[in-house]
Chain A
Amino acid sequence: MYVIKYRKIWFVLSGVLLTLSFWAIFTYGFNLSVDFKGGTLTEASYQNERPSLELITSKLQNLNLGGFSVRPSGDFNYIIRTRELSTEEGSALVQTLGSPVVERQNSIGPIAGAELQNKAIKAILVVVFMIVLFITFAFRKVSASLPRGTRGVSSWKYGLATIVALAHDVIIPTGIFVLLGHFMGVEIDLLFITGLLAILGYSVHDTIVVFDRVRENLSINTEKNIKEDFETTVGKSVTQTFGRSINTSLTIFITLLALYLVGSHATKDFSLLLIIGIIIGTYSSIFVASPLLVTFYKLQRTSK
């Protein structure tokens, strides 16, 4: 099976993508939204034609609000982000803009923002931990039921391979979003974290489909007392599940694409994130997680 045989190519490819993502994250940093930083977000809608960006910017500069950002949204709207404004400052801002229709105005205090940041990190860690625990449990029998003379991979290593795939599936979309944040103003908000968590769940979902097949093939080999190289078993499992991995991803991809193309603009970035996550997640379950099992197996053999 070429996926397993040429695993070094995929490892290098993933390695390059990961390095680029880390580079982007450390160079540009996160473009955090008011959800996390605290501050006020105002979305103003103009009826027929909106004033130019320059005009809005120069008007806002006169208000002395400190740093702010203005981003066009849709055809008639602007989204303006400032530090946390009092109610009076908020109304003054709207007046300065020429009293457009205020679609939304959100104010988030710094405490609430910091707390959310804390929660987000915690949620991700808890999900990862719980899932690894679950995988170790679900695959507890794989190492016990092997025929004599063959040595399998212990169940926690399935968990480890899953975490590596998980980290891979979260870091690469994050890197892409950091770039989108730097060049297009896309923000890391609460929905982004929700999206990452959904990707976490999905990534495991997909990896399990392949690992489950490895588990099944191993137990068939035990039953029939077939001595087969671990590498061959994994390769066979990947081949057998290739079609379904692609097809299950395709069904989700179809619905997400609909959400991205015609869904509300509130969930546009969110659906884009999930689309990227699902592509990366499908890739990693086939090209990263399964070859890693083989690598772990070989490492185990050389150390004995």
Chain B
Amino acid sequence: MRKHVIWSLILIIIFIILGYFLVRQERLGALYPFRFGLDLVGGTELVYQADTSDVEDVSGAMDTLKEVIERRVNIFGVSEPLVQTESAGIISGNALERLIVELPGVKDIELAKQLIGETPILEFRLEKPGAEEFVSTIASGTPVTLDDIFLPATLTGQYLSHAQVEFDPNTGIPLVALEFDSEGADLFAQITKDNIGKPLAVILDGAILSSPVIQSEITGGKAQISGNFTAEEAKALVRNLNYGALPVPITLITSQTIGASLGDVALHAGARAGLIGFLALVLFLIIWYRLPGFIASIALISYIVLSLVIFKMIPVTLTAAGLAGFILSIGMAVDANVLIFERTKEELKKGKSISDSLHEGFRRAWLSIRDSNISSIITAIVLFWLGTSAVKGFALTLGIGVLISMFTAITVSRTFLFAIAPNSPAGEKSKLKIFLFSNGLHVRN
């Protein structure tokens, strides 16, 4: 018993420290704030599908894509943007590469799309051998794709280090001057050296801007492109090129904007539901299970504190579905206690002592707690594995909840209960103690 008392004190101190940590971390600028999903704080989420069919190093291209988009988003000055890539459909076999951009606080979806989607794809492509004959043989009106005429691009906007607007000194027409990085410069020199006399098409977003004939090898990595730009167009192109050209084309497949007020309401409603659910549960536990019920309530508080600390540390992004998962897990966390107490009641009925009944209650309830929680964890894992981000949030809070509740509902409540359980024959005879440890409608004579 002394051992249990000491452990109880240690546990209480630990939970008070954790609770203090939670409160401290709620201040502005804290190191571990809660992370809330877009549906709770408002903002825009854009999901793009990347076309990686022409790329060999898919994961490399996706990493570059992520970097480029992050750079663009950061230039725009969004607080805490989240850019992530996702390989959807691993299970279904045909991997689809996704790019997910979350922009908290951005409500103007038009602006957000511009910010990300309008990055130009710049390519330099050589004609395929025999392309002219090919074009002359086909009937007019037949659609011809770029791939029919041109070789795949080796030099793209990816190798660009800088672009700027220049004006033709003779005609005053705006031009876009490009400067490649060292790798790009080498590629450009190689291409121009090997293909003197051939045209090199400059293609922007799938449209041919110009197709100058290569006069001589160009070293130094500089080029100019002209495409009958207006000064405005040239400036916009330069700005977009400098933000970073995308390594692969992307198309928007889903977009979501959530107003901040809706999120605010959802967050407060979720928090209120959690609080009311918790209080109702405590009331039920204390009325029905008396002293053990009170201990279970303390275990439940430690469960909530521990979960919230873990949500902060990982960090788990809390969404409306995630909050629902957490509230559900509060109900499930008590499950183990109910199983234990009901079992204890049975043993008490058989006439065993309080301490023995508690021991039996914990021992015998363990198997069903273990098996039922394993099935919940299986569900959580499958949901997390197969789900989209909203479902993942639910699965994560539920899964973490089940694991933590195994600790709080069993270890924590056990330590407390044995610390206060009578273990002397005198204590066993106290009517008050027997009443306190009984439960439901049952009173042992």
26 interchain pairs, CB-CB under 8 A = A87-B109, A104-B256, A106-B257, A107-B255, A111-B49, A111-B253, A116-B388, A119-B387, A122-B92, A126-B382, A191-B321, A194-B321, A198-B325, A248-B335, A251-B284, A251-B332, A253-B331, A255-B281, A255-B331, A256-B331, A259-B273, A259-B277, A261-B273, A262-B272, A264-B265, A267-B324
Chain A interface size, as a band, is 35 or more
CB contacts (< 8 Å) of B171 on chain A: these are none
Q: Are A258 and B378 neighbours in the complex by a CB distance under 8 Å?
A: no
Can you name the residue of chain B whose Cβ is closest to the Cβ of A201? B379
CA distance A257 to B376 in the complex (A): 21
Task: Say yes or no: is A204 at the interface (Cβ < 8 Å to chain B).
Answer: yes
Per the 8 Å Cβ criterion, residues 326-343 of B in contact with A are: 327-328, 330-332, 334-335, 338-339, 342-343
Judge whether A115 and B383 touch: CB under 8 Å. Answer: no
Residue contact B375 to A267, C-beta cutoff 8 Å: no
Q: How many whole Å from A193's CB to the nearest CB in chain B?
A: 7
Contacts of A126 in B (CB 8 A): 382, 386
B412 at the interface (CB under 8 A from A): no
**Cβ 8 A contact of A266, one of B320, B331, B332, B382:** B320
CB contacts (< 8 Å) of B91 on chain A: these are 119, 122
The answer to whether A254 has its CB under 8 Å from any CB of chain B is: yes
| Cβ-defined contact, B331 with A254, below 8 A | yes
Residues of B within 8 A of A247 (CB): 288, 338, 342
A119 and B398 alpha carbons, distance in the complex (Å): 20
Residues in B whose Cβ lies below 8 Å from that of A258: 273-274, 276-277, 280, 327
Interface of A is mostly: helix
A43 touching B380, Cβ below 8 Å = no
Does B1 touch A at the CB level, under 8 Å? no
Q: Nearest 7 A-B pairs (CB), nearest first?
A: A201-B379, A258-B277, A252-B331, A264-B266, A255-B277, A255-B331, A263-B273
A134 interface hit (Cβ, 8 Å): yes
CA distance A134 to B386 in the complex (A): 19
Q: Nearest chain-A residue to B256 (Cβ)?
A: A106
Q: Say whether A107 contacts B254, CB under 8 Å.
A: yes
Contacts of B92 in A (CB 8 A): 115, 118, 122
CA distance A135 to B368 in the complex (A): 12
Contact B321 A267 (CB under 8 A): yes
Q: Does any Cβ of B come within 8 Å of A250's Cβ?
A: yes
Q: Which of A11-19, A51-59, A207-215 contacts B (4 or more CB under 8 A)?
A: A207-215
Does A298 lie at the interface of the complex (its beta carbon under 8 Å from any beta carbon of B)?
no
In the complex, residue of chain B having the shortest beta-carbon distance to the beta carbon of A215: B367
| B9: Cβ under 8 A from any A Cβ | no
Across the interface, do B277 and A254 meet the contact criterion of CB distance under 8 Å?
yes
**Residue numbers in B under 8 Å from A244 (CB-CB):** 338-339, 342-343
Given contacts A127-B379, A130-B382, A209-B368, contact A252 B332 (CB under 8 A): yes
Known interface pairs A193-B391, A259-B270, A262-B273; 6 further A-B residue pairs with C-beta atoms within 8 A, sorted by A's residue number: A104-B259, A109-B253, A123-B383, A205-B332, A208-B371, A256-B327
